[in-house]
Amino acid sequence: MIIAVDGPAASGKGTVARALARHYGLPHLDTGLLYRAIAHNVSREELNPEREADAVAASKFPDSLLDDEALRSDEIGRLASIVSAHPLVRAALLHRQKRFAARPGGAVLDGRDIGTVIAPNAQVKLFVRATPTIRAKRRHAELRARGSTISLDRVLADIRARDLRDTGRSTAPLVMAADAILLDTSFLSIDASVQKAIELVDHRRAHRLPAG
Ligand code: C5P
């Protein structure tokens, strides 16, 4: 079974995807990390994220980089949303993601275009969302816990800018697949979000109509 989990930044999609992978015993790929790895290379090599050729030149990285905590910073997330708009960057990461999705026992992938581009035939597609204000509050609390002094307004502005870039780009924009199930986590705790996601997956598996 392939489970595709898409949604905007800080919607809870990563937490939900990880929990689903654990619950169903499937391997999990956080595809945002791939774009973050390229952003990290761009930053380290002082390249221009807006230039497609620069971003492509930074698109080779070892798997070990994906475990680097530095990838999780907000600045790298911001740069990732810039480099990810380049079609050639997306093309450079396409096969790796498709190969992961095609693993024999199935897989859980989370990102922005999993249900639309990477795994359009996924048995289950979830689109996880929450209001921008709630996402900003969550991200703000996370950053504060890591010692940051950033203001809530700034985090909200960053989230809105990222949403605009991710939904507005012409290649693989963030959009809910026609056959995805919506999971709004705005007023759900983490546990309740995960519980709801498992119910939705079980329901879709039990009632899925044959493809075609
Ligand atoms: O999910 P995360 O915040 O780690 O993603 C960082 C950025 O990478 C996103 O803002 C988005 O622009 C990009 N991304 C993407 N397609 C994916 C996953 C992430 O364009 N499948």
In a domain, 171, yes or no: yes
Residue 180: give its domain's CATH number: 3.40.50.300
pLDDT at position 209: 54
pLDDT > 80? residue 6: yes
CA atoms within 13 A on the CB side of 161: 14
pLDDT at position 89: 98
* Token reading at 174: 């963030």
Best residue for ligand 1 mutational test, from 65, 66, 84 (most atoms within 8 Å of Cβ): 84
Confidence grade of residue 90 (pLDDT, cut at 50, 70, 90): very high
The residue type of 100 is F
In a domain, 206, yes or no: no
15 pocket-lining for ligand 1 (C-beta < 6 Å) = no
Average pLDDT over residues 39-63: 97
pLDDT > 60? residue 212: no
pLDDT > 80? residue 202: yes
Domain that holds residue 23: 2-198
In a domain, 140, yes or no: yes
In a domain, 211, yes or no: no
Average pLDDT over residues 90-102: 97
Confidence grade of residue 210 (pLDDT, cut at 50, 70, 90): low
158 pocket-lining for ligand 1 (C-beta < 6 Å) = no
Please give the mean pLDDT across all residues of the chain. 94
pLDDT at position 207: 84
In a domain, 137, yes or no: yes
Average pLDDT over residues 55-66: 96
84 pocket-lining for ligand 1 (C-beta < 6 Å) = yes
Nearest to 56 by CA among 100, 94, 95, 90: 90
9 pocket-lining for ligand 1 (C-beta < 6 Å) = yes
* Residue-wise pLDDT tens digits, 74-88: 889 999 999 999 999
If one counts the domains in the chain, the total is 1
pLDDT at position 74: 84
In a domain, 212, yes or no: no
Q: CA dihedral in degrees (146, 73, 112, 42; nearest 10)?
A: 180
The pLDDT > 90 percentage for the chain reads 88
* Residue-wise pLDDT tens digits, 39-50: 999 999 999 999
Best residue for ligand 1 mutational test, from 15, 35, 114 (most atoms within 8 Å of Cβ): 35
